[in-house]
């Protein structure tokens, strides 16, 4: 992450006169030179957010349309994996071992995040482990290329990605970083926790107090930002995540939730033949789901903290992988 001075001298102050970049790069017109869509976008950023239009055009002259990004986002979806296929992708000895090392290395910061936000250290570690294998796989695309390609050349979701492009340019200005240097996934997700730019601006925090938020190479800020995200999405300190259920009778499947929102109650499920392994209040909202495990169907009730995990990725299996990896981390580390 190239911070501060490189950005300031090259692009500052973002408003006012034409920048050095804008005046010297005309001869190096890129793939977005002359694009009506880009011109309209730059006009909006100039009018609504005070960017200097020529400076911004200088950025887009260097942005590159990536066919590999369009191929990745357009490829047919894989067959939906069952839980007994999905779980082994994330619950591995290597990921657990690396997670324990990460936890030990950043123990003090994780403890402070848990104290300030109420989110257990193991859940924070697990998210970073599932998302990027603790920083090993953070993405190799320039974010400006990813969001420009998808915002201007992928009509099905152009509106969404242009919004993220706007948020990205705003965060670059706010954090005084060069937008041409920041990297992420093909969809523009960034850093150790893979935040989209809108999530960065809404939830990321300067957890080490150095005046900048750096989720790319600063684990302290990444840890604090994950904790902040979960707190803002309803994590309840000290509460469980899921409860395993035993089932019997012919109405069991009537209790399954459509979607991931907690639209059932524990009491309603009991009336349909669900028996929780834990003491749950009858009025407790739950997400009721079935997974295909190694030994047959598994029935689960997801509680409020489970729903909070699905705010990160709208998938029941994702949330279960995060939760079970966090349990394995605790067991491997030998703490309660």
Q: How far apart are CA 279 and CA 310, in angstroms?
A: 23
- Beta 285-293 vs 264-265: how paired, if at all? antiparallel
Q: What is the DSSP letter of 177?
A: B
For the four alpha carbons of 154, 56, 63 and 174, in that order, the dihedral sign comes to: negative
Helix, strand, coil distribution of the chain in percent, nearest 5: 55, 10, 35
Active site residue 131: yes
Alpha helices in 36-92 (DSSP H): 36-49, 53-62, 67-74, 83-90
Find out whether 113 and 224 touch, Cβ atoms under 8 Å. Answer: yes
- CB neighbourhood size of 4 (10 A): 15
Could you give the C-alpha distances from 157 to 26, 40, 73, 74, in angstroms and in order?
Answer: 30, 17, 10, 11
Q: What angle do CA 120, 127, 106 make, to 5 degrees?
A: 60
| Residue whose C-alpha is closest to residue 130's, from 303, 313, 333 | 313
Of the residues 85, 114, 116, 131, only one is catalytic, namely: 131
- Residue the block writes with tokens 């041409």: 180
Find out whether 284 and 302 touch, Cβ atoms under 8 Å. Answer: no
Find out whether 121 and 224 touch, Cβ atoms under 8 Å. Answer: no
| Residue whose C-alpha is closest to residue 205's, from 217, 213, 216 | 213
Question: What is the set of active-site residues?
Answer: 131
């Amino acid at each position: 992450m190239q911070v501060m001075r490189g950005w300031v001298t090259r692009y500052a102050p973002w408003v006012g006169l034409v920048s050095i970049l804008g005046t010297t790069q005309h001869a190096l017109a890129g793939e977005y030179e002359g694009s009506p869509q880009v011109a309209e976008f730059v006009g909006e950023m100039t009018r609504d957010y005070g960017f200097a239009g020529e400076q911004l055009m200088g950025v887009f002259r260097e942005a590159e349309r990536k066919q590999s990004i369009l191929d990745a986002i357009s490829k047919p979806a894989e067959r939906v994996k069952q839980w007994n296929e999905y779980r082994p992708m994330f619950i591995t000895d290597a990921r657990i071992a690396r997670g324990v090392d990460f936890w030990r290395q950043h123990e003090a910061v994780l403890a402070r995040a848990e104290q300030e936000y109420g989110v257990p250290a193991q859940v924070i570690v697990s998210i970073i482990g599932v998302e990027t294998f603790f920083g090993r796989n953070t993405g190799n695309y320039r974010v400006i290329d990813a969001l420009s390609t998808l915002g201007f050349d992928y009509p099905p979701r152009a509106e969404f990605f242009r919004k993220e492009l706007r948020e990205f340019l705003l965060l670059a200005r706010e954090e005084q970083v060069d937008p041409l240097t920041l990297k992420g996934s093909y969809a523009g997700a960034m850093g150790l926790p893979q935040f989209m730019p809108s999530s960065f601006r809404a939830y990321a925090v300067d957890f080490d107090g150095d005046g900048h938020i750096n989720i790319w190479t600063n684990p302290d800020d990444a840890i604090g930002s994950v904790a902040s995200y979960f707190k803002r999405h309803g994590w309840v300190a000290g509460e469980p995540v899921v409860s395993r259920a035993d089932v019997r009778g012919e109405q069991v499947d009537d209790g399954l939730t459509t979607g991931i929102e907690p639209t059932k109650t524990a009491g309603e499920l009991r009336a349909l033949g669900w028996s929780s392994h834990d003491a749950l209040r009858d009025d407790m909202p739950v997400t009721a789901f079935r997974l295909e495990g190694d030994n047959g169907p598994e029935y689960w009730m997801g509680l409020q903290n489970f729903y909070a995990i699905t705010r990160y990725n709208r998938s029941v299996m994702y949330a279960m992988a995060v939760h079970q990896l966090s349990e394995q981390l605790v067991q491997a580390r030998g703490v309660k």
